[in-house]
Amino acid sequence: MRLKTDPDQYRAFEGIKLKVKPGPHEMRWYTYNKPVSGDAEICVTIQLPHIVTDPTGTGAGVLFGGDDAGDFDFFFLWANGNASMLRYSKQSDKLDVPITPFKASRLDPSPGAKNRVRVRVQDGTATLFVNNQQFAAYRGSLPSGAGKVGIIVQSESTRSDSWKFANFRATGLQ
């Protein structure tokens, strides 16, 4: 899998939606320049592609816990209805899976379906939600607060998949 971050060629705005379309077998991510300090909640509506040939090979999610070294965590949804939490280490170019993929009961995997995804980072725990239902919680090594936040997308191995994002927000907890 090739991990890429060069933005303009692979993303476009469609009204209020951001469309991201990585090349075949590519994963791309986009982060905000400033990290979110302290406990926070990150939310976004993710729209699945209208055409998918391999639902286990394409997905999208919320990136959080990013640090200046290029490491980050992400809550990822696959087009087959599974979800998980993954961690990328830029220094070792390694992808770890703290929460193994399993069926997210509230995730709608239909072509073009919209799902609201939320990550709450509080007191060293990341709690993951799909359509307002808790999917899982992870307590482990997280940066202080939410860190760098953003979105992440992966295309299938044989084709480019278009995922759309709307209503992204990252807010501090009171």
Whether the per-residue pLDDT at 173 is higher than 80: the answer is: no
Three-state secondary structure of 99-153: EEEEECCCCCCCCCCEEEEEEEEECCEEEEEECCEEEEEEECCCCCCCEEEEEEE
User: What pLDDT does 1 receive?
Assistant: 42
In this predicted model, what pLDDT tens digit does every residue of 11-69 receive, in sequence order? 888 888 999 999 999 999 888 877 787 788 999 999 999 999 999 999 999 999 888 77
Whether the per-residue pLDDT at 132 is higher than 60: the answer is: yes
Distance CA 65, CA 149 (A): 7
Distance CA 113, CA 42 (A): 20
CA torsion angle 5 33 138 100 (round to 10): -10
- The vertex-42 CA angle with 13 and 37, nearest 5°, equals 115
Task: Write the CATH number for 121.
Answer: 2.60.120.560
Tokens 């990341």 appear where? 126
In this predicted model, what pLDDT tens digit does every residue of 55-80 receive, in sequence order? 999 999 999 988 877 888 899 999 99
Reported pTM: 0.90
Contact yes or no for 150/1 (Cβ under 8 A)? no
* Average pLDDT taken over every residue of the chain: 88
User: What pLDDT does 9 receive?
Assistant: 73
Number of domains in the chain: 1
User: What pLDDT does 34 receive?
Assistant: 76
Sort strands 2-4 and 26-31 into parallel, antiparallel or unpaired: parallel
126-140 mean pLDDT: 94
Whether the per-residue pLDDT at 2 is higher than 70: the answer is: no
For residue 40 the two structure tokens come to 């926070």
Please report which confidence band the pLDDT of residue 144 belongs to, taking 50, 70 and 90 as the band edges. low
Structural domain including 52 reads: 2-172
User: What pLDDT does 6 receive?
Assistant: 52
